[in-house]
Each structure stands twice: as structure tokens, then as C-alpha cells.
Amino acid sequence: MSQCLLCENDTAVQSWRVFFGAKAPVLCNICLNQFEKIDGPSCEVCSRPMDQKGICPDCAAWEKNIFSSNQSLYHYNDAMKALIARFKYRGDYALAELFAEDIQAAAKKTACDLVCAVPLPPLRLAERRFNQSEALIEMAGLSSTPLLARHESDKQSKKSRAERIEAAQTFYPIGNAAGKSILVIDDIYTTGATIRLVAEALGQAGAVSVKSITIARSGS
């Protein structure tokens, strides 16, 4: 019997489907139905839900750099918050499978030369034992190119909105992205501070443009 990783209800598939190689899903239908895809009007830059399509005030206020757009797939509601917390902080690596098809489809529509993960600081990587950004890329069947590393820094989740926006650069290039367009894949877009620092460091590696795909769009 297969159990949902969130509520532990049965997720077993019908026996005839097992014969054809079908795997039981990692979440049950009750839990899956709590997630909300972003499908209405949203900011053209960051996927922030809006009353009508356009550019939100936050994106209009950011200084321009080679970062051009983020596509978030889901609202960061309570169910998604619980799922990502379990994925990142409790080590349920298998939860990355949930988003594989969504990421694959979004990546196909995003014409970029290379895919890059958002690196973790060394101590945090040792603590978690995996990088959620790399896990999402791997489960989606994409190939990640190591272009960046990261100095030790405070957790973003512990920072206020203002502290996130004013955060100092912690990323630095370790690879060559000369003349390349880069797709960055990560779990959450909140203020946009992280992806813009990532884009700045990728620019130092020679990248000419940066786009991102994130699982959820946090913030109002």
C-alpha cells in the first residue's frame, strides 16, 4: 500500500494500471486538490496575481538587470506552504516528483541555452543534505549546469520584506556562461531579491539574459 506523504491516506493505483507500469502518486487526490494553479491575470515579470495583466508596482520599481521574467506555477496557499516546508526542511525529496511535468512544460516554452540551480550556502547544504532547486531540475529530467556558488548567509525565510530587498550579494560565478541565456529553477518567488542577485552573478559569468521558473508565488 502506498501512502500520501502529507496525510498518509492510501494513494494506491488500480491493479490493472500497475500492470502497465503506473506508479502510485506521492499525494492523494484530497491533498492535490488543495493546490491552486496561477491561471488568472498576473504580472508579466513576476507572476504576481493581479486584477488585469500588466507589470506590478514592485517590478516597475526594481532596477533593470539581465533578469527578464519569472513564471510561478502555483499560489503559495496554506497547502503549498506545508508541502514546500516538508520538501525543504524534512527532506522528503520525492515531493519534487509532483512538479516534474509542470516544470518540463514550462521549460519547453522558455527558450534558454542553459539551466542553472540556485546554490545553497555550504552549511545549509550540509544541514539539509540536498538542494531543493537541483532536486526540482533533476526530477523534471533537465540538466543543470553549475554556474554559481554561494557564500554563507542568513536564511531568507528569517528576513523581513525590507531585509530581503536590501540583501547583500552572496552569489558568485564559478562557470562560464558567456553569451548564454539562462533558465533558473527554484521553489518560491517572494520579493524577487534572490533571483535578481542570481542574475547579477550570472551576468558576471557572461550570461546575457536570465529567466526563472518557480513552483509558487509568495506575497501579495
CA distance 143 to 24: 26
What is the reported pTM? 0.87
The pLDDT assigned to 45 comes to 96
Q: Where are the alpha helices (DSSP H) in 132-191?
A: 132-139, 161-165
Average pLDDT over residues 117-123: 95
Average pLDDT over residues 12-34: 62
Question: For the segment 56-110, what is each residue's pLDDT rounded down to a tens digit?
Answer: 999 999 988 999 999 999 999 999 998 898 888 777 777 788 899 999 999 999 9
Confidence of residue 47 (pLDDT cuts 50, 70, 90): very high
Question: For the segment 132-178, what is each residue's pLDDT rounded down to a tens digit?
Answer: 999 999 999 999 999 999 998 766 556 666 677 777 899 999 999 99
Q: Where are the alpha helices (DSSP H) in the chain?
A: 15-19, 29-32, 57-61, 78-89, 100-109, 122-128, 132-139, 161-165, 193-204
Residues in the chain: 220
Order across the sheet with 67-75: list the strands.
Answer: 67-75, 209-217, 181-189, 114-117
The pLDDT assigned to 184 comes to 98
pLDDT value at 7 more than 90: no
pLDDT value at 30 more than 50: yes
CA distance 170 to 125: 15
Cα 36 to Cα 49, 72, 173, 215, 216: the distances in Å are 12, 11, 35, 11, 10
Report the 10 Å Cβ neighbour count for 75: 18
Q: Tell me which of 25-34, 157-166, 182-191 is least confident.
A: 157-166
Higher pLDDT, 147 or 7: 147
pLDDT value at 22 more than 60: no
The pLDDT assigned to 19 comes to 40
DSSP per residue, 199-215: HHHHHHTT-SEEEEEEE
The pLDDT assigned to 133 comes to 95
Which residue ranges form the domains of the chain, and what is each CATH number?
1-33 (no CATH), 37-217 (3.40.50)
